[in-house]
Structure 1
Amino acid sequence: MEQHSNLRDPASEEGIPDIPSLADFETGTYFWEAARPWLSRRGIELYEIRPDENPLHNWKNWWTPLVSTPAPLPFARCVFDTPSKQNIFSPTLKLACGQDSLGRDVMLKLVEKDSPEYSIYQLLIQREDLFADPRTFPCVLPPLAILDTPHQYSIVTMPTWGSPFHIEEFRTVREALRFMECILQGLVYLHANRIAHRDIFEFNIVVNCYRLDRDIERLSEDLVDHRRRADVLYALMDYDQSIYLPHITSVKHCSRPAKEAWVGYGMYKPDDIYTGEPTYNPFAFDVGMLGNLFRTNFSKAVPLVTALPALFDKMTTHIVSQRFSAEEALAFFKGSTKDLTQDALEASLELTMEYEPLYDSDVYWSRLPSELQARWICHRTPPLPRWFYVLNRLIQIPVCRRIILPVRRCLGI
């Protein structure tokens, strides 16, 4: 991995503009064009920005290059067509695309200095040896460089990986299990370093295969072959909603203000904060989010991987003290799938997203024969108590919420 971490060049710190706010997601054309010379001096060449080909449009777009240099991990496999073609996509203020001095594709992201996200990238960049070896790759997307500017933001560069991809396009048990194992490994690594991601969903997961022309439909076709390869990897990314806690923090017993949890993508959030709880455990929250992603997308695989209902329930149980940690979930996953035969791994899957399992675990438990349901009975989550539904309904009424929240905070319950 080429190291550019925390580069400063006193002779050339001028020339990159300040920005009013990283929360401003209006077009980033002006900023990135102004930053181009500054980045070029640091070995990063941004993709070309050109006016849209349609004369009725008055905006500009990124134009993908025609060539890219293949590279090993942490870089992804780039799919080339013959002949290659260029494609366009819209600039934003926070993200940009370019190539490094060796012609390898990179993504650039603006990150506020002294933010948890900045500290997380500083931690990850110190372990570049892990990210270069497929045997130790921790399944989180690493930074390649942290370019500090004279202003209150830095520019983090990362290898370009593929996104978005569609889980329902997985075609075999092996493909589904590989994905699950990678994301569990990524969460274990983050939690071991006391990073709570807090925004786990499909668009914050990438695959180590991308197209230079950014054609999403063609990427889906390319991934049919890529998913069969032994070197397929998936990784968690994007830490702008994450928190970074001291290493002495207990993963099992961490307690943080519940208001922190009202960030990020909402669909996969567990029930931990829906009845006015004053605190929550962000690590258990992550596991619950990932468990909800799993059971939404992989419930159809239950007849072929019979331990999945037990994994789903232990990752999402409303009894947080009994919920798997990420490490426990990964150990259970590996232990319960290690003896699957080659025929079982190559069995065909037809996946579809199902939202009902988020609210009714009987959907996937009913796909097991009764003797297997009995085998995993100790892992099955009991129904939510009735008071949960009553309190959840009351807390949606403003006058009740103004009473319930202070009372629960005062009593610490």
Structure 2
Amino acid sequence: MATERPRSTTPTEQLISYETYWRDHQKWLADQGYLLRPRYMPDWVPSWRTSKKHRYFCEDFYHFQVSQFRQFIDATRSSDGALVALKRVSKSIHPFEVDIAKYLSSDPLSSDPHNHCVPVIEVLQVPDDEDTLLLVMPFLRPFDDPRFDTVGEAVAFFQQVFQGLQFLHSHFVAHRDNNEMNIMLDPTNLYPDSFHPVRQERKRNYKRGAKYYTRTQRPPKYYFIDFGISRRYKPEDMPPNEEIIVGGDSSAPEFQEANMDRTNDMCNPFPTDIYYLGNMIRQNFIQNRYGFEFMEPLVADMVQDDPSKRPTIDEAMTRFTEIRNSLSSWKLRSRVVEKEDVAFYGFFRAIAHWRRRIWFILRRVPAVPLPP
């Protein structure tokens, strides 16, 4: 599944508290077919102590730092060498997460091309803790890493996340936390030789930089992750009225006046999902990148203060399709420029972009690259 955004790492010679859990379960995981990195072996000795390498060049010197994602660890599946993610789930704290994740990964839902929910490979019961399950999922990357090259690549991303939320809502599932941290991409196409799980700019063996392609060359699939506070309803339960639970994006207007100590603060979570998706596009594209003004009217409606005035996901999908169809090939093939880009590096990026652009036009590569 899913992993965190490992943009910041803290090197250390000692395992920190969350890591000791994985070290203590290393042998059991190996018996289940999942191998942890050398850092988590019970007899681990830091490699820089026994080699001539500087510690910064040793892969076992790094660990995931982002605290809210410390329930995750990477592992290698021994049967085929695939990189996977393991997530600890407390049944008492998140009683619905595993059932919802398994439901969304089950047949026939798993074969629906509009299903953009992270697949569950396996669920493991931790032997020494009845309350804890491990979800085994593909190892994913943040949705914007590597960076978007063209507007068409971003439009393909928008299309997939709109489809994904439409799929969830059509099956009466409210995500309730579909913020930018919980939308990721499958790196299989982009990184055919994989990458290091912590230092993701490096190769899997930590030697040199990891080779990758643009989204136009090899379109990825995007996934929603983390169903810890999600809810699944029956048709007769609609529309639901749930106690407010604030996820990773606490800016939803319906949360601002709520006193979280009171139990009568309720809302319908489906319009909040719409807000989260709109706010993700607003913050990450309209505000931080040039050229996405075409999304402003739709996003403005999706983030309205009054949840009842926001479009449903079906209405938003219809409007997005109209927007996409109105964009010219020239616009779709234009370069995505981030507002924080340094002009010097932007010049070289522009040259590389134009070379790719001409080649794609000559080869008639689609301007909106979608996975098969």
Alpha carbons of structure 1 residues 148 and 171: separation in structure 2 relative to 1, 3 Å: same
Q: Is this contact kept in 2: 1:284–1:320, CA < 8 A?
A: yes
Alpha carbons of structure 1 residues 86 and 165: separation in structure 2 relative to 1, 3 Å: farther
Q: Does 1:43 align with 2:33?
A: yes
- The residue aligned with 2:355 is none
Q: Is this contact kept in 2: 1:145–1:156, CA < 8 A?
A: yes
Cα offset, 1:112, TM superposition: 2.0
* CA distance in structure 2 between the partners assigned to 1:153 and 1:302 by the alignment: 41
- The residue aligned with 2:149 is 171
- The residue aligned with 2:319 is 332
Cα offset, 1:45, TM superposition: 2.2
- The residue aligned with 2:281 is 294
Cα deviation digits, residues 341-368 of structure 1 (max 9, x gap)? 3222102232338xxxxxxxxxxxxxxx
Determine which of 197, 200, 207 is the counterpart of 2:175. 197
* CA distance in structure 1 between the partners assigned to 2:103 and 2:136 by the alignment: 14
Cα offset, 1:165, TM superposition: 3.8
* CA distance in structure 1 between the partners assigned to 2:210 and 2:321 by the alignment: 28
Cα offset, 1:336, TM superposition: 1.9
Cα deviation digits, residues 30-73 of structure 1 (max 9, x gap)? 32233223223322222322444566xxxxx9xxxxxxxxxxxx
Where 2:25 maps in the other structure, the secondary structure is: helix
Segments of structure 1 that go 5 or more residues without pairing to the other structure are 1-24, 56-60, 62-84, 354-413
Within a 5 Å distance, the mapping from 1:243-322 to structure 2 comes to 243-250=231-238, 253-257=239-243, 260-266=244-250, 269-276=251-258, 278-299=265-286, 307-322=294-309
Q: Does 1:122 align with 2:118?
A: no
Alpha carbons of structure 1 residues 290 and 105: separation in structure 2 relative to 1, 3 Å: same
Alpha carbons of structure 1 residues 165 and 195: separation in structure 2 relative to 1, 3 Å: same
Q: Does 1:153 align with 2:132?
A: yes
Q: Does 1:94 align with 2:78?
A: no
Determine which of 190, 210, 216 is the counterpart of 1:228. 216
Alpha carbons of structure 1 residues 184 and 227: separation in structure 2 relative to 1, 3 Å: same
Cα offset, 1:143, TM superposition: 1.0
Where 1:248 maps in the other structure, the secondary structure is: helix
* CA distance in structure 1 between the partners assigned to 2:269 and 2:88 by the alignment: 25
* CA distance in structure 2 between the partners assigned to 1:184 and 1:223 by the alignment: 29
Alpha carbons of structure 1 residues 242 and 89: separation in structure 2 relative to 1, 3 Å: farther
Cα offset, 1:216, TM superposition: 3.8
Where 1:241 maps in the other structure, the secondary structure is: coil
Cα offset, 1:261, TM superposition: 2.9
Q: TM-score, normalised by structure 2?
A: 0.67
Cα offset, 1:198, TM superposition: 2.3
Q: Is this contact kept in 1: 2:105–2:117, CA < 8 A?
A: no
Q: Which amino acid aligns with 1:143?
A: V
Cα deviation digits, residues 282-322 of structure 1 (max 9, x gap)? 11111101111111222269985664122112211123222
Q: Is this contact kept in 1: 2:117–2:225, CA < 8 A?
A: yes
Alpha carbons of structure 1 residues 287 and 52: separation in structure 2 relative to 1, 3 Å: farther
Q: Does 1:238 align with 2:226?
A: yes
Q: Which amino acid aligns with 1:126?
A: S
- The residue aligned with 1:79 is none
Q: Is this contact kept in 1: 2:125–2:132, CA < 8 A?
A: yes
Structure with greater Cα Rg: 1
Aligned residues: 292
Q: TM-score, normalised by structure 1?
A: 0.61
Q: Is this contact kept in 2: 1:175–1:227, CA < 8 A?
A: yes
Where 2:299 maps in the other structure, the secondary structure is: helix
* CA distance in structure 1 between the partners assigned to 2:71 and 2:293 by the alignment: 43
Q: What is the percentage of aligned positions where both structures have the same residue?
A: 23
Cα offset, 1:87, TM superposition: 5.7
* CA distance in structure 2 between the partners assigned to 1:243 and 1:113 by the alignment: 14
Alpha carbons of structure 1 residues 145 and 350: separation in structure 2 relative to 1, 3 Å: same
Q: Is this contact kept in 1: 2:151–2:335, CA < 8 A?
A: yes
Alpha carbons of structure 1 residues 37 and 223: separation in structure 2 relative to 1, 3 Å: closer
Cα deviation digits, residues 194-213 of structure 1 (max 9, x gap)? 33222233322222225422
Q: Is this contact kept in 2: 1:162–1:207, CA < 8 A?
A: yes
Where 1:139 maps in the other structure, the secondary structure is: coil
- The residue aligned with 2:196 is 213
* CA distance in structure 1 between the partners assigned to 2:212 and 2:80 by the alignment: 29
Q: Is this contact kept in 2: 1:87–1:213, CA < 8 A?
A: no
- The residue aligned with 1:381 is none
Q: Is this contact kept in 2: 1:116–1:243, CA < 8 A?
A: yes
Give the CA RMSD over aligned residues: 3.4
Q: Which amino acid aligns with 1:341?
A: S
Determine which of 146, 156, 162 is the counterpart of 1:184. 162
Cα deviation digits, residues 338-393 of structure 1 (max 9, x gap)? 2433222102232338xxxxxxxxxxxxxxxxxxxxxxxxxxxxxxxxxxxxxxxx
Q: Which amino acid aligns with 1:249?
A: D
Alpha carbons of structure 1 residues 348 and 96: separation in structure 2 relative to 1, 3 Å: closer
